[in-house]
């Protein structure tokens, strides 16, 4: 090319554009390729992070919470490795995965961390064949603790009241000779009291003949239904719930010792019945105890000594279950005591008054780390009953402190574990709700 021709080419604008494009094309292509590589790497890292999340969650499922830490590590590792193998364009070695599992009480903590590389298509031209990838995920879960439930159920004569207002009205109308009695008192020798019932039967048999359901009947059925609820909850929560059943009146009665077989406990609960006395004021033919048939001090002393020290309820072989006392009562004691209170006192030391008038057993039990769930079966106002109104003219009757019964029992219960059941309400539903609350409001571990 001649010098003149070269000068003309350099002075040409078309030539300048072509030269500039040629010089800039390569870096533009490299930048575009780097963007593609970066986008691919970010996408692959997002997928790996999602897999890490899935692996961490797999280690804290209800099934895994019932197994060892080593099994949780293995599950998270296998989950991550299996899913990572489906991602193209990455370099990953199982040696670059770290899974840690630790437990604190009923809580499990899992961390899944990984390191990998994403293959580049363009950046390797500049000496960057791969892009570094890394991430981690954490998961935490609290397992349902193993719990032992101790049922302490009031079977004293006052639990023989009719369960509905219609039943109460029926009993009152059929016991006119007694002044109208809503209680189906169970007596082995009713003839001594001249009750005036059609066949000389006691009020318990009269209620049965009239088809009247009693509160004790509903309590027995509720306890049976509770066993079904507990078994279903145990299966869902993968926890062990054991049951023991006791009743109290003048004494402390074992219906079922602590068992993990809830079917056995259910059969035993069907045997719950109201306490039978000999006659009015007589426990037996030779024991005139003035109807002192609701002894809280004896019942709470015995149940407190029956329940061992509770554990945390973890799955550890060295741990023991948490404990919950289910206490079902109408809240009026009738026993021999000494303190002077605003309550009926007759026959020397007889006292009818609020629970805990002599000793705060509830606080003593709760201080041991045992939660108390209280179901108050309301002591119904009975304005037609002379004893309820004024102890047959001897002084202020149960009516004088009846409004205080609920608050006193609520103070006995642990936070969130108090229910009331009024006349006609479903005791079984209330007991089930109380159980669910007890399972959900887990005690803090030591």
Distance CA 151, CA 158 (A): 18
- Are 377 and 262 found together in one domain? yes
What are the tokens at 280? 């009015």
189 part of a folded domain: yes
The pLDDT of residue 21 is: 47
- Are 98 and 209 found together in one domain? no
323 part of a folded domain: yes
Distance CA 378, CA 414 (A): 19
445 part of a folded domain: no
296 with 362: CB under 8 angstroms? Answer: no
- Residue 244 β-bridge partners: 150
- Are 107 and 182 found together in one domain? no
- Are 191 and 260 found together in one domain? yes
Mean pLDDT across 116-141: 83
Share of the chain above pLDDT 90, in %: 59
- Pick the last residue of a domain from 86, 107, 142: 142
- Are 201 and 223 found together in one domain? yes
Distance CA 182, CA 173 (A): 9
Distance CA 222, CA 282 (A): 30
**pLDDT tens column, 87-109:** 999 999 999 999 999 988 778 89
| Strand boundaries in 278-415, DSSP class E | 282-284, 287-288, 322-329, 332-336, 350-354, 371-377
168 part of a folded domain: yes
What are the tokens at 64? 């895994």
The domain of 152 spans: 147-440
Q: Give Cβ neighbours of residue 31 (< 8 Å, ≥ 6 apart).
A: none
**pLDDT tens column, 23-56:** 455 555 555 555 677 788 899 999 999 999 999 9
Whole-number Cα distances in Å, 89 to 31, 130, 338: 20, 10, 86
- Are 110 and 174 found together in one domain? no
446 part of a folded domain: no
What are the tokens at 446? 């030591």
SS3 content of the chain, % helix, strand, coil (to 5): 45, 25, 35
Residue 189 pLDDT > 60: yes
The pLDDT of residue 195 is: 92
Distance CA 38, CA 47 (A): 14
The pLDDT of residue 446 is: 37
Nearest to 133 by CA among 35, 30, 43: 43
Distance CA 239, CA 67 (A): 12
- Are 103 and 243 found together in one domain? no
Q: For the range 336-344, what are the long-range contacts, defined as Cβ-Cβ under 8 Å and sequence gap of 24 or more?
A: 336/292, 337/297, 342/396, 342/400, 342/401, 343/401, 344/391, 344/394, 344/395, 344/397
- Residue 151 β-bridge partners: 245, 326
Confidence of residue 203 (pLDDT cuts 50, 70, 90): very high
Which of 121-130, 160-169, 266-275 holds the top average pLDDT?
266-275
The pLDDT of residue 3 is: 52
- Are 58 and 158 found together in one domain? no
- Are 184 and 136 found together in one domain? no
Q: What angle, 0 to 180 degrees and rounded to 10, lies between the N-to-C axes of helices 215-237 and 427-440?
A: 30
Burial of 371-383, coded b for 16+ CB within 10 Å and e otherwise, reads bbbbbbbbbbebe
More confident: 75 or 21: 75
Whole-structure pTM value: 0.74
Distance CA 306, CA 60 (A): 35
**pLDDT tens column, 243-261:** 999 999 999 999 999 999 9
248 with 297: CB under 8 angstroms? Answer: no
Mean pLDDT across 46-67: 89
- Are 250 and 392 found together in one domain? yes
Instruction: Give how many domains the chain has, as a whole number.
Output: 2
Residue 425 pLDDT > 90: no
254 part of a folded domain: yes
48 part of a folded domain: yes
Whole-number Cα distances in Å, 144 to 104, 130, 296, 437, 440: 13, 46, 32, 13, 8
Confidence of residue 68 (pLDDT cuts 50, 70, 90): confident
Distance CA 35, CA 342 (A): 87
- Any idea of the CA torsion for 391, 397, 399, 404, to the nearest 10 degrees? -140
- Pick the last residue of a domain from 112, 142, 172: 142
3-state SS, residue 343:
coil
- Are 167 and 110 found together in one domain? no
**pLDDT tens column, 135-184:** 999 998 877 889 999 999 999 998 999 999 899 999 999 999 888 888 89
Q: Any idea what the CATH number is for the domain that residue 402 is in?
A: 3.40.50.410
Q: What angle, 0 to 180 degrees and rounded to 10, lies between the N-to-C axes of helices 215-237 and 262-269?
A: 170
| Strand boundaries in 235-360, DSSP class E | 241-248, 252-259, 276-277, 282-284, 287-288, 322-329, 332-336, 350-354
- Pick the last residue of a domain from 83, 107, 142: 142
- Are 115 and 158 found together in one domain? no
7 part of a folded domain: yes
* Alpha helices (H) along 238-279: 262-269
Looking up tokens 């580049």, which residue turns up? 120
Residue 181: CB atoms within 10 A of its CB come to 22
Distance CA 95, CA 111 (A): 16
Confidence of residue 338 (pLDDT cuts 50, 70, 90): low
42-51, 123-132, 215-224, 402-411: range with lowest mean pLDDT: 123-132
């Amino acid at each position: 090319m001649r010098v003149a021709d070269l000068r003309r080419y350099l002075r040409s604008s078309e030539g300048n554009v072509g030269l500039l494009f040629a010089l800039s094309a390569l870096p533009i292509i490299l930048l575009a390729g780097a963007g593609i590589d970066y986008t691919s790497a970010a996408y692959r890292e997002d997928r790996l992070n999602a897999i890490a999340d899935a692996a961490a969650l797999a280690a804290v499922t209800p099934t895994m919470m019932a197994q060892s830490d080593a099994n949780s590590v293995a599950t998270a590792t296998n989950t991550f490795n299996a899913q990572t193998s489906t991602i193209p364009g990455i370099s990953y070695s199982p040696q670059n995965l770290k899974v840690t599992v630790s437990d604190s009480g009923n809580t499990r903590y899992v961390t899944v961390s990984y390191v990998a590389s994403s293959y580049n298509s363009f950046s390797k031209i500049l000496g960057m064949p791969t892009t570094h990838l890394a991430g981690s995920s954490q998961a935490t879960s609290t397992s349902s603790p193993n719990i032992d439930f101790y049922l302490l159920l009031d079977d004293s004569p006052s639990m023989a009241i009719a369960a509905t207002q219609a039943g109460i009205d029926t009993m009152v109308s059929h016991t006119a000779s007694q002044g109208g009695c809503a209680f189906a008192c169970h007596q082995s020798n009713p003839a001594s009291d001249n009750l005036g019932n059609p066949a000389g039967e006691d009020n318990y048999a009269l209620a049965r003949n009239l088809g009247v359901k009693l509160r004790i009947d509903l309590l027995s059925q509720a306890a049976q239904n509770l066993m079904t609820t507990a078994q279903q909850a145990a299966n869902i929560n993968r926890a062990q719930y054991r049951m023991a059943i006791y009743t109290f009146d003048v004494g402390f009665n074992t219906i079922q010792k602590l068992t993990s077989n809830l079917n056995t406990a259910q059969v035993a609960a069907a045997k719950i019945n109201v306490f039978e006395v000999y006659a009015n004021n007589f426990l037996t033919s030779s024991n005139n105890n003035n109807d002192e048939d609701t002894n809280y001090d004896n019942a709470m002393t015995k149940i407190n000594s029956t329940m061992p020290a509770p554990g945390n309820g973890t799955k550890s072989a060295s741990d023991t279950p948490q404990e919950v006392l289910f206490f079902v009562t109408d809240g009026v004691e009738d026993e021999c005591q000494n303190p002077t209170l605003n309550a009926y006192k007759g026959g020397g030391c007889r006292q009818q008054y609020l629970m805990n008038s002599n000793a705060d057993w509830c606080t003593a039990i709760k201080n041991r780390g045992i939660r108390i769930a209280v179901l108050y079966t309301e002591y119904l106002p009975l304005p037609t009953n002379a004893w309820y109104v004024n102890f047959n003219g001897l002084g202020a009757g149960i009516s004088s402190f009846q409004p205080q019964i609920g608050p006193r029992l609520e103070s006995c219960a642990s936070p969130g574990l108090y229910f009331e059941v009024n006349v006609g309400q479903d005791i079984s539903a209330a007991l089930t709700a109380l159980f669910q609350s007890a399972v959900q409001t887990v005690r803090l571990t030591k």
